[in-house]
Amino acid sequence: MQTFDFDLFVIGGGSGGVRAARMAAQRGARVALAEAGAMGGTCVNVGCIPKKLYSYAAHYAESFEESHGFGWVGTAPQLDWELLKANRAREISRLNGVYLQLLDSAGVQTLRGWATLLDAHAIDVAGQRYTAQNILIATGGAPTIPDVPGRELVVTSDDMFDLNPFPKRLLVVGGGYIACEFASIFNGLGAQVTQVHRRDKLLTGFDDDVRRFLASEMSKTGVKLQLGAEVAAITQTAEGLRVDLKDGSQGPFVVDTVLYATGRRPNTRGLGLEDAGVAVNAHGAIEVNERYQSSVASLYALGDVTARLQLTPVALGEAMVVVDQLFGPAAGKAPRSMSYDFIPTAVFTHPNIGTVGYSEAEAREKFASISVYRSDFKALRHTLSNSTERTLMKLLVDDASDRVVGLHMVGPDAGEIVQGFAVAMKAGATKAVFDSTIGIHPTAAEEFVTMREPVKSPT
């Protein structure tokens, strides 16, 4: 029988890779993990975590403003961008260390350097050859910039956390998660933000009501939305970066920084996938079956490199399924499976979006008849805050089963609120169950259990 150096070799120390390596080692497998960059991947270093920290920072701006209505007097403090960057960097380094320590204490051998596949069971890391019975590719993704004149002048989300100096004028291109979040965050931190998106609504794929409502709320906070617009060219001028749009009547804009947030591509280059015979699809993502196995039986892949749902908790869920399949479930537990239905998600715009289940358009297509419940209100806090912010909540119910199949919110803490409702929806909660649930008063969240009358005509 062939012997291998390791039972599992993980390429990539992001959320999915680290989780798989740790869990496999805890099951008694001999595991190595190779990472060329900082431990923790996109989420920890240039994604979810620093983004959320900056979002918290940005929310203080509105809190200071709103506090006057509650009797707080005096001028608001100023943002010290260098201090925020330094504090973020310190916390991220701490997390890098925590990840390394978790791997160490689980008994995973960590290898620092670029890993290349040599064949179905062999990997090279920094000139050293290792063999493994199974290899897991969890190399994530990276931002892409389309081929626009002046593309060398723009930055991506990877660069946003350490901009020097703080961009007083920022132009964001794109209408997805990353574009909307950074537009909101930098607006809150004090930049003048223009967001250019090629469609007439932000956030393709989300509920149309949510998309319209968010655009209106973001505009109120000061983000200048330029919808249905495409960039023609970016040029360096003495006053800053000049951005011309294809429709000359819009713009030009002169800004300090142009952020392109126009999607991400899977990190598959330079991994030796061709040498190992691993199939990738037209977008460069590794193709996997329902067991996360690639076209080569000993090679598995999960998370953003498979470009399905690019969300950290999805990669974590997939990692645990792979480990259960390869090494058996944890003692006393059934093997895990991964369901892609009713995955909740939040967009940390200001205000937040929280959503789970179908959009209204999807629900109308999927179910013969649905009822829509919708509430659009001014939260209690804003009776004194002087803010004009409004909150949107929406429920979609399949009339045949009474099951709540879509739940959407735009408003403060939507991500926090929707997580709990996602549990109920996974469990198949009906509208009758929502109606029989007692609200927590006074909260915004109680509105989800007090919406009694469906809206009359489709929105």
Q: Which amino acid appears at position 385 of this protein?
A: S
Does 146 interact with ligand NDP (rule: CB under 6 A)? yes
Three-class SS of residue 293?
A: strand
Q: Which residue reads 């990539």 in tokens? A: 12
Does 16 interact with ligand NDP (rule: CB under 6 A)? no
Does 356 interact with ligand NDP (rule: CB under 6 A)? no
For ligand NDP, the closer of residues 178 and 320 by Cβ is: 178
Among 168, 199, 246, 378, binds ligand NDP (CB under 6 A): 199
Per-residue tokens: 177: 């998660």
Q: Which residue reads 């993980």 in tokens? A: 10
Among 55, 226, 262, 294, binds ligand NDP (CB under 6 A): 262
**Cα torsion angle, 411, 198, 220, 53, sign:** positive
Does 344 interact with ligand NDP (rule: CB under 6 A)? no
Taking contact as CB under 6 A, which single stretch among the options 22-30, 341-349, 378-386, 422-430 is the one that binds ligand NDP? 341-349
For ligand NDP, the closer of residues 30 and 198 by Cβ is: 198
Q: Total number of residues binding ligand NDP (CB under 6 A)?
A: 23
Residue 137, C-beta contacts closer than 8 angstroms, at least 6 positions apart: 11, 12, 271, 278, 286, 294, 299, 300, 301, 302, 305
Task: Reply yes or no on whether 441 is catalytic.
Answer: yes
Does 171 interact with ligand NDP (rule: CB under 6 A)? no
Catalytic residue chosen out of the listed positions 59, 68, 197, 441: 441
Cis status, amide bond into 442, omega within 30 of 0: yes
For ligand NDP, the closer of residues 50 and 167 by Cβ is: 50
* Bridge partners, 225 (sequence order): 195
For ligand NDP, the closer of residues 48 and 455 by Cβ is: 48
Q: Which amino acid appears at position 190 of this protein?
A: G
The minimum distance between CB 274 and ligand NDP, in angstroms, equals 26
Are the CB atoms for 154 and 171 separated by under 8 Å?
A: no
- Torsion over CA of 244, 249, 255 and 259, rounded to 10 degrees? -60
| Dihedrals phi, psi of 116, to nearest 5 degrees | -130, 135
Are the CB atoms for 268 and 144 separated by under 8 Å?
A: no
Does 264 interact with ligand NDP (rule: CB under 6 A)? yes
What is the CA 307 to chain-centroid distance, rounded? 13
Residue 390, C-beta contacts closer than 8 angstroms, at least 6 positions apart: 213, 217, 376, 377, 378, 379, 411
Residue 381, C-beta contacts closer than 8 angstroms, at least 6 positions apart: 66, 387, 412
| Dihedrals phi, psi of 355, to nearest 5 degrees | -150, 145
Does 161 interact with ligand NDP (rule: CB under 6 A)? no
The minimum distance between CB 204 and ligand NDP, in angstroms, equals 3
The minimum distance between CB 414 and ligand NDP, in angstroms, equals 11
The Cα–Cα gap between 13 and 56 comes to: 26
The Cα–Cα gap between 7 and 239 comes to: 58
For ligand NDP, the closer of residues 173 and 276 by Cβ is: 173
Does 67 interact with ligand NDP (rule: CB under 6 A)? no
Does 198 interact with ligand NDP (rule: CB under 6 A)? yes
Q: Are strands 115-119 and 192-197 parallel, antiparallel or unpaired?
A: unpaired
Does 27 interact with ligand NDP (rule: CB under 6 A)? no
Among 10, 39, 172, 179, binds ligand NDP (CB under 6 A): 179
Does 345 interact with ligand NDP (rule: CB under 6 A)? yes
Residues 385-444, interacting with ligand NDP (CB under 6 A): none
Among 348, 367, 421, 448, binds ligand NDP (CB under 6 A): 348
Does 26 interact with ligand NDP (rule: CB under 6 A)? no
Residues 283-312, interacting with ligand NDP (CB under 6 A): 310-311
Nearest to 32 by CA among 5, 9, 3, 7: 9
* Bridge partners, 346 (sequence order): 354
Does 195 interact with ligand NDP (rule: CB under 6 A)? no
Residue 397, C-beta contacts closer than 8 angstroms, at least 6 positions apart: 370, 371, 372, 373, 403, 404, 405, 430, 431, 454
For ligand NDP, the closer of residues 22 and 211 by Cβ is: 211
Among 50, 140, 174, 411, binds ligand NDP (CB under 6 A): 174
Taking contact as CB under 6 A, which single stretch among the options 24-32, 128-136, 173-181, 245-253 is the one that binds ligand NDP? 173-181
Does 175 interact with ligand NDP (rule: CB under 6 A)? yes
Residue ranges that bind ligand NDP, judged by CB under 6 A = 146, 173-179, 181, 197-199, 204, 261-264, 310-311, 345-348
Catalytic residues: 441
